[in-house]
Amino acid sequence: MKVRWTPKAERHRTEILNYIAADDPGASERMNRLFHKTSVMLSEHPKIGKAGRVPGTRELLAHRSYRLIYEIDGETLWVLALIHTARQWPPK
């Protein structure tokens, strides 16, 4: 299955990595690898995440602090958002 990140999810990822890199560039690189590894895992096992809070979506913890929100559309898995677990989801 192909994994595609929406522009919004890519922006979330960039913002997270830049925030982490400000204090620890090495940690930012490790987190980026973790997000990539999670994407690869989803391409192989797309239903590994639990049913999402928004109908039609699924959620998977990529890290104890970050949740991937995604949906499956045929042979494509769309990452819709990457959010900190402390943030409200879905947004009000």
What pLDDT score was predicted for residue 89?
83
Q: Residue 70: name the closest of 1, 5, 2 by CA.
A: 5
73: left (phi over 0), alpha (psi -120 to 50) or beta: beta
Question: Which residue ranges form the domains of the chain, and what is each CATH number?
Answer: 2-84 (3.30.2310.20)
User: Per-residue pLDDT tens for 37-91?
Assistant: 999 999 999 999 999 999 999 999 999 999 999 999 999 999 999 999 999 888 7
Strands (E), 1-92: 2-5, 50-51, 58-63, 66-73, 76-84
Q: Residue 92: pLDDT above 90? A: no
User: Per-residue pLDDT tens for 5-23?
Assistant: 999 999 999 999 999 999 9
Distance from C-alpha of 31 to C-alpha of 27, rounded to nearest angstrom: 6
What pLDDT score was predicted for residue 62?
93
